[in-house]
Amino acid sequence: EGPAGWPRTGRNPSRVQQHGPSSPISVFSCGGWQGFAINDELLNRALRSGVEKARFTIPVSVGPLNQPVDTKSFSPKASRAFEKLLRTLSYTYAKAPHVDRAIAIVEAVKAHLDTTLDFTNVTAFALQQCFDATGITTPIRRVSELALDQELKAQARIIAACQKTGATRYVNMIGGENLYNAIDFAAAGITLAFMKANLQPYPQSGYDFIPGLSILDMISHLAPDQFAPHLVAAARDANDTM
């Protein structure tokens, strides 16, 4: 649902950062959250399998194209998909110095999933787990909790959410550049900005660096105090629109 923050630190309460509706799968993507596609499964950016990428999926229940995100649920098969992901991490990332932290996150999300299949509930939990692991302090809020006019859609709904929360700047991933109009945001007193992922290299167990892998890859290889430079590098790319 959003608004949710990534990867900016969120220290300025007058800013709202959102990268579209997200899921525990897209939570695990280093470059931010690009959106949500209604389908029978969600495809994540890859983990490493030796010198190659290995993708993983978590199934969600099939629904109509216009089904509200807050009514979505995960498939009962999702728990088994998380078990497979845990085996992949344990085997493929055995030599990663901090893989135990990544495994703990996936175990926590799976345990939460076993208590509820509610899509946004599990999503918010998974987001917070990743935020805590990477030092991000941006609060997570749901648009559905803001009591907005239900007739508002797309850009109008985003602007209303910003106004409701007192935000003066809205940051979206660059993939949504054609979805929003800076003039409309400015008329509402909000600056529209777009961020292009700026993925800095980091050690990956002796292999050549592959950018854009899952955030679980980064958590497996970096100590908690090593994330800040990567978050700052990404934040520098959040340029205001003209």
Per-residue pLDDT of the chain (242 residues; tens, 9 = 90+): 333 332 332 333 333 333 333 344 444 554 443 222 223 333 344 555 555 677 778 888 888 877 888 888 999 999 999 999 999 889 888 989 999 999 999 999 999 999 999 998 998 899 899 889 988 888 888 888 888 998 998 899 999 999 999 999 998 888 888 999 999 999 999 999 888 777 889 998 888 888 878 889 889 999 999 988 887 775 555 554 43
Nearest to 117 by CA among 78, 74, 82: 74
Nearest to 30 by CA among 218, 187, 192, 203: 218
Alpha carbon separation from 38 to 60, 73, 146, 239, 240 (Å, rounded): 9, 11, 24, 30, 30
**b (16+ CB within 10 A) / e for 178-204:** eebebeebeeeebbbbbbebbbeeeeb
Q: Provide the pLDDT for residue 156.
A: 95
CA atoms of 148 and 143, how far apart (whole Å): 8
